[in-house]
Structure 1
Amino acid sequence: MDLRKRVYGGIETEGSARAAARRFGVSASTGVRLAQRMARTGSLEPGRQGRPAGGGKLAAWRDRLSGWVKVEPDITMPELVAKLQANGGPAVHPSTLSRLLCAAGYSYKKRR
């Protein structure tokens, strides 16, 4: 953030994004993008990265998967994948289902 503020301060004083970028040793496109970000959002904070939580191809199936696990608590992840695909769901890896169920509050317990 410090460099972003200094570069933008240079843009304000020099009037040129490219000149300010040269002065601080960053690319000209970085200076231009900082000026555009400030004009568009009013902030120099970097944008959030990644996909928003709660999306993905299993979002529509979350409740149905939870229901299947409640009915049959000892179902394995490969069995759950097969059941999902048999019901027209997307092809996913068992570990993907495991992460989804752990996020939903289910825990994994090994039994002897």
Structure 2
Amino acid sequence: MGHCYSLDLRVRVADFVEAGHSCRAAAQHFAVSESFAIKLVRRARDTGSPAPARQGRPPGGGKLVAYEAFLIQTDA
């Protein structure tokens, strides 16, 4: 599984591109992949924030949801 770059780095890359540089130049300057820079700029443009998306399964779904009340009751 991949890792998330820090928000500080994400902001610096997005600002670098916003200042008029290309995504590929930003990738080379900050030693990140071109793919990361391109996707980051797209994400910042679409959502207004370069912050990473939440990862993992959304809460409330899973195999044991139907048995949640029973499990809580037997735990006590």
Shorter-chain TM-score: which interval? 0.7 to 0.9
How far does residue 39 in structure 1 lie from its aligned partner after superposition? 1.2
Q: With structure 1 as the length reference, what TM-score do the two structures score?
A: 0.55
Identity of aligned residues (%): 46
Name 2:64's counterpart in structure 1.
Answer: 58
How far does residue 62 in structure 1 lie from its aligned partner after superposition? 2.4
**CA 1:52–1:7 in 2, change beyond 3 Å: closer, same or farther?**
same
How far does residue 41 in structure 1 lie from its aligned partner after superposition? 0.8
C-alpha RMSD of matched pairs (Å): 2.0
Give the aligned residue type for 1:14.
G
Query: 1:106, 1:45 → 2: CA distance?
Result: 40
Name 1:38's counterpart in structure 2.
Answer: 44
Q: Is 1:107 aligned with 2:75?
A: yes
Name 1:85's counterpart in structure 2.
Answer: none
Which of structure 1's runs of 4+ aligned residues deviate more than 6 A? none
Q: Is 1:28 aligned with 2:34?
A: yes
Query: 2:22, 2:73 → 1: CA distance?
Result: 53
Q: How many residues align?
A: 70
- Unmatched 5+ residue regions in structure 2? 1-6
Name which of structure 1's ranges 5-14 and 29-38 shifts more when overlaid on structure 2: 5-14
Query: 1:107, 1:58 → 2: CA distance?
Result: 14
Q: With structure 2 as the length reference, what TM-score do the two structures score?
A: 0.77
- Unmatched 5+ residue regions in structure 1? 67-100
Q: Which has the higher contact order (CA 8 A, sep 6+)?
A: 2
